[in-house]
Amino acid sequence: MILTVTLNTALDLTYRVPRLTPHSSHRVTEVTERPGGKGLNVARVLAALGHESTVTGFAGGATGRALREQLATAPGVRDALLDVAGATRRTIAVVDAESGDTTQLNEPGPLITPDEWSGFLASYEQLLPSAAAVALCGSLPPGVPVGAYAHLVRAARAAGVPVLLDTSGEPLRRGIAARPDIVKPNADELAELTGSHEPLRATRDARRRGAHAVVASLGAKGLLAATPDGALRATPPAPVRGNPTGAGDSAVAALLAGLVENTPWRRRLASAVALSAATVLAPVAGEFDREAYEDLLDRVSVTEQASAA
Could you list the residues that contact ligand TA6 (CB under 6 A)?
A: 8, 10, 12, 36-38, 41, 91, 106, 138-139, 245-246, 248-249, 285
The minimum distance between CB 138 and ligand TA6, in angstroms, equals 3
Sign, CA torsion 189/191/197/200: negative
In the complex with ligand TA6, which residue's Cβ is closer, 104 or 130? 104
CB 293 within 8 A of CB 276: no
203 within 8 A of 173, measured Cβ to Cβ:
no
Is residue 83 flagged as an active site residue? no
Which amino acid is located at 194 in the chain? T
The alpha carbon of 217 is separated from its chain's Cα centroid by a whole number of angstroms, namely 11
Which is catalytic among the residues 249, 289, 295, 298? 249
Question: Which residue's CB comes closest to ligand TA6?
Answer: 138
What CA–CA distance (Å, rounded) separates 130 from 140?
24
Q: First vs last Cα of the chain: how many Å apart?
A: 37
Distance of CA 89 to the CA centre of its chain: 17
- Name the β-bridge partners of 235: 301
> Which CB sits closer to ligand TA6, 56 or 245?
245
Q: Report the nearest approach of ligand TA6 to the CB of residue 307 (Å).
A: 32
User: What phi, psi does 104 have (nearest 5°)?
Assistant: -110, 135
Amino acid at 223: L
Closest CB to ligand TA6 among residues 41, 235: 41
Coil, strand or helix at 182: strand
Q: What share of the chain is helix, strand, coil (3-state, %, to 5)?
A: 40, 25, 35
C-beta of 223 vs 232, nearer to ligand TA6:
223
CA pair distance 191, 129, nearest whole angstrom: 35
Rounded CA-CA distance 71/44 in Å is 9
Residue 262 CB, shortest distance to ligand TA6, in Å, is: 26
**Which is closer to ligand TA6, CB of 77 or CB of 232?**
77
Nearest distance from residue 203's CB to ligand TA6, in Å?
A: 20
Q: Which is nearer to ligand TA6, 36 or 222 (CB)?
A: 36
State the catalytic residues.
Answer: 249
